[in-house]
Amino acid sequence: MPSRGRHRSTSKECQRVLAWIEGMPGVIGVMIGRSYGGRSLGQQCRTGSIRIQREVSGGLKAVMQSSKGLQEIFIRTEAGTEDAVARMISGPGDA
């Protein structure tokens, strides 16, 4: 399922990360939200880094570091797979 949302432009690194997330088991799709230029996830975060903010009805709210700032994303998941998807995105050391 293609990415949807108000803003479709993002860097190539971020597009690769979004495609990777869309291919995960339990993920229905990824919607791109607002972008905030000039903001950052922190000094150790590279372009394409993702931080899960919270679990909401139907999926996960997250932010991604783009080349120009932060990009909001919504990861639509199948019911009951939110925790597993969040662990796959965060990695084994972050869960």
The pLDDT tens digits of the residues spanning 4-56 come to 544 455 678 888 999 999 999 999 999 988 888 776 666 667 888 899 999 99
Among candidates 65, 71, 73, which has minimal Cα distance to 22? 73
Burial of 1 (0-12, 13-18, 19+ CB in 10 A): exposed
- The runs of H, that is alpha helices, within the chain are 12-22, 82-90
pLDDT, position 10: 67
* Antiparallel, parallel or unpaired: β 59-65 and 69-77: antiparallel
